[in-house]
Chain A
Amino acid sequence: MSFRRTRAIFLKELRHIIRDGRSLALALAMPAMMLLLYGFALSLDVDHIPISIYDQDGSSASRSLAKQFEGSRLFDVKSRALNYREIENGINTNQILVGVVIPRNFGSNLATGHGAAVQLLVDGSDSNTSGIAMGYAESLVQLYSAEISTEIMNRRGVAPPAPPVVAQARVWYNSSLQSRNFVVPGLIAIILMILTAQLTTLTIAREWEMGTMEQVLSTPIRPTELVLGKMLAYFLIGLIDAILSFVAGVTVFAVPFRGSLALLTVSTLVFLCGAMFWGLFISAGSRTQVMAFQMGMLTTFLPGFLLSGFVFSIDVMPGWLQAISVVVPSRYYVSILKFLFLKGVGLEIVWPQLAYLILFGGIVFWLSVRRLNQKVV
């Protein structure tokens, strides 16, 4: 392997990049824009749940329960239904998620100590949102119920009993339970994976398609030098994108960064190399750019989005899918980023992930060189 020839390839590729200004601008602007848009838009926090209240009772008790729903930040009372049809209609057209039905005699049943039931009709189609909304609505009713009980007990002159066991939930690492804090680091990982692999997937396929590959092959350049030279040229873009994303993540989205900066740098460099080699590996095997693009998207976007633990936890997937996710590099990078950003742990915990990323980069580099060698012969 010669340093001079690698540099020649590197400079040639750099010239290619600079010449196509439009693609370069896209490559630099895209990650920042994607991060800004998605970071703000993608949230799993459930609040302002649209509900409709159907008050069949119209007593002071039912009105005070309705007021509790109105006063809560979590709920947004969209309408007062006058019959079940309106609730059904609201749920069918996605205008409301929960219908609260306060039955007739609610107030009088409460007053006589009989106990009364509030009916909650929940649109279950979006199971995640509705599960959380259901929990909120039920605990609001519970709270209201506790207030009423206390009132009744007070009136009778008995001290209200304290509940025997209380749960004290304490959340570590992300105490306000903001989904942004885990969505943004995951997004950075996925954006970098897609973009960097995308940058390199087309380079060799383009040379095949244009017929310039034969010319390159007739020179004394060896596959190792070709792969390394091309990778280094695009590496610069990937690095700039990475820095931009991290700065945006910490400043714009105020995601806490609790880990070591050096560890972040090392793992990002390793990850970028791996992603670039992956692109080159695909590129070396594709004769057309269309095919290279399709393969690139297929192997980076979907696995990155689905099998990286970005939103969907890997440990609840079926075993065969967990086995597949073992070879997805984004999985390790996503977990490194979450460890570093939120947990602030060090090398003693992230070393297996880092070791895997290094292994991945090495293997893919070797594979792509081998693939080129085969094509040459």
Chain B
Amino acid sequence: MIERIAVILRKEFIQLFREPRMRGLLLVPPLLQLIIFGYAVTLDVDNAKIAWMDGDMTPESRALLARFEGSNRFQIVATPQSEQEMQSILDHGDAHGVVRVLPGFARDLARGRSASVQVLLDGTNSNTAALVSAYASGVIASFSNDVYRNQAKNHQTVKLSARSPGSSAIPALPAAVSSTRVWFNPDLRSRNYFIPGVAVNILFMVTLTLTAQTIIREKEIGTMEQLMVTPMRPIELMLGKTIPAAMVGLVDLVLVTAGALLIFKVPFRGNFLVLLFSSTMFLLTSLGAGLFLSTISKTQQQANMASFFFSSPAFMLSGFNFPIANMPLPVQYLTYLNPLRYFMEIVRGVFLKGVGVSVVWPQMLALVVYGIVIIWLSTIRFHKSLD
């Protein structure tokens, strides 16, 4: 048995690496994907582009502008003078938002009345808009606090000079403050979260398509019958077909992990053995799915369609960038059928939180169960499709 598996393994490897272009397709796309993905997937808004519309033109309004410029979060890209100009900036999408200081800003401040600053946001991308809005409110709030403190000081000196007894000091400090501590990713870099997810996706795509296609190709070309007349048993054939894919997948995993650590400086806090161990469990499911797809398709085109049908929802509903907790409840239940979901949680936990088997064992268990079921299903179908 071992002998026969060794033979088919040899045949598979020869076939896999015979074509120079195929050789490239196995190793180059994973690295390319990592680099492009890695640089592209960021939801951070480091340098929000805003337009500054100053209707007041006083030292006070310029002090607020200096606050925005000094915060390192904003880049003033335009200074519109009229409503139309402002409208056109937002319509073109040249700025994420417009900060508008209304006439009378300094006057209101001097009189101790509330002066308001308008922040007009381009809501087309709601995520960016929410972040920019929060940053802008933060800058304005801190400006407001300082103004308040100054006023309170002046107020007190006035009162002191008037020697009015019994005046209560105005509490300049807010009563309750929050002190926030961010764990695992203190700078809130979205790359740290996304790149481990990219590794998961690459491992999944490579192993799934490779298994499905090598079997279908034999069927389509007609060499499957030739393999059948050999003394090879179906289980040996399946092993011979899946082991090369698994090995390519693991090599890609190591490659991509190294890239994540070296190029993107993603922290790796867990144990590499845990990662490797859970990856092999995950491979059970992705190889099983590949086998299953090959049993339900007759042509390569059908297999491609089917694998796309399976892999794109698996990717989108894995929590890669759209959090599962945001999805409607029925879809959330659906994601329990998605092996990628479990592996995504494991990999992110191992990379960022440094958790071990004691925390991720439920996900590992789910992967094993999933893998066994799908391999069992495809073995049954495999026998049938041969008869």
Contact = CB atoms under 8 A, between A and B. Distances in A.
Nearest to A341: B124
Given A124-B184, A349-B92, A23 B127 contact: no
A262 interface: no
B120 A119 contact: no
B180 A138 contact: yes
B188 A166 contact: no
A133 to B, nearest CB: 10
A375 to B, nearest CB: 16
B190 interface: yes
Interface in B316-355: 316-317, 321-323, 325-328, 331, 345, 348-349, 352-353, 355
A118 B176 CA distance: 7
Given A123-B184, A312-B40, A171 B331 contact: no
B116 interface: yes
Contacts of B33: 302
A93 B346 CA distance: 10
B179 A117 contact: yes
A42 B332 CA distance: 11
B184 A164 contact: no
Contacts of A307: 36, 40
Interface in B171-192: 171, 173-186, 188-190, 192
A165 B316 CA distance: 43
B305 A115 contact: no
Contacts of B294: none
A135 B110 CA distance: 30
User: For A110, A127, A142, which residue has the most chain B Cβ atoms within 10 angstroms?
Assistant: A127
B42 to A, nearest CB: 6
Interface in A173-203: 173-175, 177-179, 181-182, 198, 202
Interface in B220-257: none
Interface string A121-151: 1111111111110110110011011101100
Given A141-B177, A321-B40, A297 B308 contact: yes
A2 interface: no
Interface string A34-70: 1001101111111110100000000000000100000
Contacts of A266: none
B372 interface: no
A290 B176 contact: no
Contact of A167 (B125, B137, B185): B137
B123 to A, nearest CB: 3
Interface string A299-330: 00110001100011101111001001000000
A369 B67 CA distance: 57
Interface residues on B, range: 35 or more
Interface in B89-126: 90-93, 109, 112-126
A206 B143 CA distance: 66
A306 B42 CA distance: 10
Contact of B173 (A42, A115, A172, A291): A115
A252 interface: no
Given A165-B109, A302-B36, A22 B302 contact: yes
B122 A141 contact: no
Contact of A168 (B93, B116, B170, B213): B116
Nearest to B359: A92
A153 B171 CA distance: 9
A71 interface: no
A72 to B, nearest CB: 14
B224 to A, nearest CB: 16
User: For A173, A179, A206, A317, which residue has the most chain B Cβ atoms within 10 angstroms?
Assistant: A173
B144 A165 contact: yes
B124 to A, nearest CB: 5
Contact of A41 (B126, B317, B359): B317
7 contacts: A41-B328, A110-B176, A130-B188, A145-B176, A164-B114, A168-B118, A315-B49
Q: Which 7 A-B pairs have the closest CB atoms?
A: A174-B123, A124-B185, A165-B144, A124-B182, A127-B188, A171-B123, A145-B176
Interface of A: 22-23, 26, 30, 34, 37-38, 40-48, 50, 65, 91-94, 106, 110, 113, 115-132, 134-135, 137-138, 141-142, 144-146, 148-149, 152-153, 156, 158, 161-175, 177-179, 181-182, 198, 202, 206, 289-291, 293-294, 297-298, 301-302, 306-307, 311-313, 315-318, 321, 324, 335, 338-339, 342-343, 345, 349
Given A43-B327, A166-B114, A171-B133, 14 more contacts: A46-B323, A50-B325, A65-B176, A113-B171, A115-B175, A124-B186, A130-B185, A135-B134, A162-B114, A306-B41, A307-B40, A311-B125, A312-B40, A316-B42
